[in-house]
Amino acid sequence: MIQNEAERLLQEVLGVAAVVVATSDGFDVASAMKQGDPTRVAAMASSIFAISAVVSQEASLGRSRSVTIDTEEGFAIVHSVYRPNADLVISVIADADAILGQVAYQVSQFARSLASA
């Protein structure tokens, strides 16, 4: 299910170049990428997840849901998935052709399905 959804996002959402689902400590669980190393993306996502958790806690904002990194040539979304047995992190990297709102919505839906699975 996780692998299939990662592949669906890569194929069906315009501009998506990579989808990586990882454990909160940085281990790749599932991935679909046009290029790159999912192990590296998983490790980076783990670090971003940890930093966002600290910022959220220090600012008394509750648990972190997502972080968006906007760049000159696209963006990355790192979305937290809180589960009773193990937290996960979804990372999506998209190019300039992608629509941020559409990608964010799809990632959010994916996160909800993983949280309830």
Q: Which residues contact 69 (CB under 8 A, 6 or more apart)?
A: 48, 75, 76, 77, 78
- The type of residue at 100 is L
Per-residue pLDDT of the chain (117 residues; tens, 9 = 90+): 899 999 999 999 999 999 999 999 999 999 999 999 999 999 999 999 999 999 999 999 999 999 999 999 999 999 999 999 899 999 999 999 999 999 999 999 999 999 987
What span, in angstroms and rounded, lies between the C-alpha atoms of 3 and 24?
Answer: 17
The CATH H-level (homologous superfamily) assignment of domain 2-116 is Dynein light chain 2a, cytoplasmic (3.30.450.30)
pTM: 0.94
Domain ranges for the chain, please list them: 2-116
Q: For residue 102, give the DSSP letter.
A: H
